[in-house]
């Protein structure tokens, strides 16, 4: 389990090939799922303390998209697969 912090634009203090994994934390939110769309772009689905699901889209360590406020993981994953994020 690793803890990551971002500045809103990228992960701080990590190598370019680091990908947050299940049960890691990013910005104090627990990683509950990950998915990859291409070689460079991947989504990390996070759950905050209130149970709300967020999705961070990364290109290496850079955050290229972020959506918060999904009711559950299914809705977040559907938005990701429908290219809404």
Q: What is the pLDDT of residues 8-49, one digit of tens each?
A: 899 998 887 788 999 999 999 999 999 998 777 899 999 999
d(C-alpha 28, C-alpha 41), whole Å: 22
CA distances 49 to 3, 30, 53, 54, 81, Å, are 15, 9, 10, 11, 25
pLDDT in tens, 63-74: 998 999 999 999
Query: With DSSP H G I counted as helix, E B as strand and the rest as coil, what are the percentages for the chain, rounded to 5?
Result: 10, 45, 45
Element (H, E) at 79: helix 73-81
Q: Is the pTM of this model over 0.95?
A: no
Quickly state the pLDDT bin for 1 (edges 50, 70, 90). confident
Number of domains in the chain: 1
Which residue segment(s) compose the domain that 33 sits in?
A: 3-81
3-state secondary structure of 6: strand
């Amino acid at each position: 389990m690793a803890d990551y912090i971002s500045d809103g634009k990228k992960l701080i203090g990590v190598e370019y090939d680091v990908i947050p994994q299940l049960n890691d934390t990013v910005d104090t939110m627990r990683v509950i799922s990950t998915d990859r769309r291409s070689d460079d772009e991947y989504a990390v689905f996070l759950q905050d303390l209130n149970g709300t699901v967020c999705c961070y889209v990364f290109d290496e360590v850079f955050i290229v998209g972020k959506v918060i406020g999904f009711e559950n993981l299914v809705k977040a994953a559907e938005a990701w697969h429908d290219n809404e994020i």
